[in-house]
Structure 1
Amino acid sequence: MTGPEKYAGVRYLVDDVKAAVDFYTTHLGFTVNLDASPAFADVVRGPLRLLLSGPASSGARATPADAAAPGRNRIHLIVDDLDTEIARLRGADLAFRSDLVTGPGGRQILLADPAGNLVELFQPA
């Protein structure tokens, strides 16, 4: 097992690696670490390494068919000003998957990447 100084990695299965890379780098501040499109790409933001696996990647082939659809899991990105982020992303014609929710810990909203994987934008209280 690697030490805690390494990235924390999450794998998302995507239909179109290039579209996913464009989404995460253009709209959410990720940078490309490795682009092996059309099979796979690796983008990073802070300590998060997001592995974007297309249909031809080994990660996607290892997933059972009944587990390949996007679920309720999501990556969680903390933002300083949620209202500004919502306006910016709506201005880019991105569709949100939930309404703005306010709870005891802060406010959040969900949007989906081009493959339907969820991204939670969260502003702490």
Structure 2
Amino acid sequence: MRIYVTSVLVDDQSKALDFYTRVLGFKVKHDIPMGEHRWLTVVSPENPEGTELLLEPSEHPAARPFKAALVEDGIPATSFQVDDIDSEYERLVSLGVSFTQKPMDAGPVRMVVLDDTCGNLIQLIQMKDN
């Protein structure tokens, strides 16, 4: 068994598409119109056949309060792995990304937390060398 698709609830699919592709560097895998919304997935350019991230509209009545509670408590909606957290942090800061937490050590990882501009906090992690 493998994870095929996972999702992040976004306030605006077009805004999310811009952020997740132009800023974070993911590539569009599927962009299929589905009425008012789209089946919109992105993948890592390093693993284009890997797990897809669905940029899912926050339409369910529970979605917005749930997301707001996570953000208020500083809890990321999901986590992405990078090879060099410090250089990725500097790259994203130069693009105007807002961070709620600067790079820090946390057990076996270094991590940062950013605002995806679509109602979520996203954690980036780098595994420490043992």
Please classify the TM superposition score into its range, dividing by the shorter chain length: 0.7 to 0.9
Distance in 1, matches of 2:82 and 2:115, equals 16
Task: Tell me which amino acid in the other structure corresponds to 2:127.
Answer: P
Instruction: Provide, for residues 49-74 of structure 1, a one-character-per-residue CA deviation record: whole Å limited to 9, x for no partner.
Output: 1111225xxxx33x536435462243
Worse-matched range after superposition: 111-120 or 44-53: 44-53
What does residue 41 of structure 2 align with? 42
Change beyond 3 A, Cα 1:121–1:73: closer
Counterpart-to-counterpart distance in 2, 1:115 and 1:70: 14
Give RMSD over aligned pairs. Answer: 2.3
Query: Cα–Cα, structure 1 residues 111 and 24, in superposed 2: closer, same or farther, change >3 Å?
Result: same
Instruction: Could you list the structure 1 runs, at least 4 aligned residues long, displaced by more than 4 angstroms after superposition.
Output: none
What is the deviation of 1:86? Answer: 0.8
Unaligned runs of 5+ in 2: none
User: Which segment is superposed worse, 113-122 or 82-91?
Assistant: 113-122
Say if 2:76 is the partner of 1:108.
no
- Please state whether the residue corresponding to 1:53 is helix, strand or coil: strand
Give the residue type in structure 1 aligned to 2:22. Answer: T
Code of the residue aligned with 2:107 in structure 1: it is: P
Secondary structure of 2:102's counterpart equals coil
Q: Secondary structure at the match of 2:7?
A: strand
Deviation at 1:24, TM superposition (A): 0.8
Partners of 2:9 and 2:55 within 8 A in 1: yes
User: TM-score, normalised on structure 2?
Assistant: 0.74
For 2:37 and 2:69, the matched residues in 1 are separated by 18
TM-score (norm 1): 0.77
The answer on whether the counterparts of 1:70 and 1:117 sit within 8 Å (CA) in structure 2 is no
Residue ranges of structure 1 left out of the alignment (5+ in a row): none
Partner secondary structure for residue 97 of structure 1: strand
Deviation at 1:21, TM superposition (A): 0.8
Task: Verify: 1:88 aligned to 2:91, yes or no.
Answer: yes
Q: Is the 8 A contact 1:78 1:121 kept in 2?
A: yes
1:122 alignment partner in structure 2 = 125
AA matched with 1:11: S
Percent identity between the two aligned chains: 33
Aligned to 1:22: 18
